[in-house]
Amino acid sequence: MRLEKAAVVLACMAVVIGIGSSAGPVKNMLQQLRTSGGMAVLKPIGEQHSELRSVIEAKAAEISSPPVDARVDRVWKAIPGYNGLKVDVEATYKGALLLPAGSEIKYIYRQTPPAVSLDDLGAQPIYRGNPAKPMVSLMINVAWGNEFIVPMLNILDEEHVKATFFLDGSWLSKNRELAVEIQKRGHEIENHAYSHPNMSTLSRARALMEIDKTKKLLKSSLGVDNRWFAPPSGDFDQETVKIARELGLKTVLWTVDTVDWRNPSPESVVAKITAKAEPGTLVLMHPTSSSSRALRGMIRGIKAKGLVLGTVSQTLSPERVLPSSVE
């Protein structure tokens, strides 16, 4: 009888060890066994869990970043806010409990929005993104230069970059197929007025028409819900910004200009943009020979500085730039 009981006990232990050797809490328990005076001593589960939670809480305190409110700068005018970042301690802890002992903790992060956003700043022009956000945007204003558009689109594809194209409405009315090609490549399309006027010289009625006509054309021709307005030649006044806001648009300009309409050498354009690119930079260009030949070098120079290239909407949003491994 004693032999039979011993056999049963051994069989049960074998089953437990077999199950625990694959995964789960039994494996974790067995891996926590330590030898003390010839006897196997199990570290209390409560103590293990307490230590795990302490590690997670320490990491949370280390990386926690508060959100940054949008604000009006004396020089740069409206500057977008930037989300805060924190570790979701509870979710990370629960997930870690399911991992095999010794596994790397997978931290789960949460973004916290700022209390003040761009929408709260009123009718203000925007020249740059938040300086804490390591993202840069290429703004390509289109009213001419058709021969360079597809070559530039091909380079953007090859470099895995999405840009924002601001289209002149009269150009769009004559070049819908090319605009559709830009859109098909996944780029953002926005408003550059209708006839490329100097906005500050227009009557209120004419200024309203210039922006609204292109906004409606973007919707009817491309299905685009227009969000941003780039004044032609960078010419505007406060009334322009107010009119754009009335139409639901924010007025955006640039941080750094390629001045490609002067036909500078591609090498000088690459050097200038690479040197001046920093977090939040908006780079102005057009479909010209200079920018077309400089585009790949600009992209690679910007990336070499550890900056990410995104659309205007992405760069001016409060969303944080996070590694792909972050949940």
Residue 19 has pLDDT above 50, yes or no: no
Average pLDDT over residues 93-118: 91
Of 22-36, 96-110, 247-261, which one has max mean pLDDT?
247-261
Residue 17 has pLDDT above 50, yes or no: no
Average pLDDT over residues 238-263: 98
Q: Which residues contact 161 (CB under 8 A, 6 or more apart)?
A: 138, 299, 309
Residue 15 has pLDDT above 90, yes or no: no
Predicted local distance difference test score (pLDDT) of residue 11: 47
Of 41-55, 99-113, 307-321, which one has max mean pLDDT?
307-321
CA distance linking residue 210 with residue 236, whole number of Å? 13
Predicted local distance difference test score (pLDDT) of residue 221: 98
Find the length of the chain.
327
Tens digit of each residue's pLDDT (9 = 90 or more) over 155-179: 999 999 999 999 999 999 999 999 9
Average pLDDT over residues 44-61: 81
CA distance linking residue 282 with residue 140, whole number of Å? 10
Q: How far is CA 33 from CA 44, 190, 261, in A?
A: 10, 63, 73
Predicted local distance difference test score (pLDDT) of residue 322: 81
CA distance linking residue 221 with residue 52, whole number of Å? 57
Residue 310 has pLDDT above 90, yes or no: yes
Are 266 and 297 contacting, i.e. CB atoms less than 8 angstroms apart? yes
Ranges of CATH 3.20.20.370 domains, the chain: 123-316
Domain made up of 123-316: CATH architecture:
Alpha-Beta Barrel (3.20)
> Is residue 208 helix, strand or coil?
helix
| Degrees, nearest 5: CA angle 135-274-303 | 45
Residue 89 one-letter amino acid = V
- The confidence band for 44, taking pLDDT boundaries of 50, 70 and 90, is low
Instruction: At 227, give phi and psi (nearest 5°).
Output: -120, -30
Q: How far is CA 19 from CA 96, 139, 164, in A?
A: 20, 59, 56
Predicted local distance difference test score (pLDDT) of residue 47: 67
Segment among 24-33, 138-147, 207-216, 268-277 with least mean pLDDT? 24-33
Percentage of the chain exceeding pLDDT 70: 84
Q: Where are the alpha helices (DSSP H) in 200-288?
A: 204-222, 238-246, 266-276
CA distance linking residue 57 with residue 49, whole number of Å? 12
Average pLDDT over residues 136-160: 98
- The confidence band for 43, taking pLDDT boundaries of 50, 70 and 90, is low
Dihedral angle sign, alpha carbons of residues 261, 267, 272, 274: positive
For residue 175, give both structure tokens: 């070049």
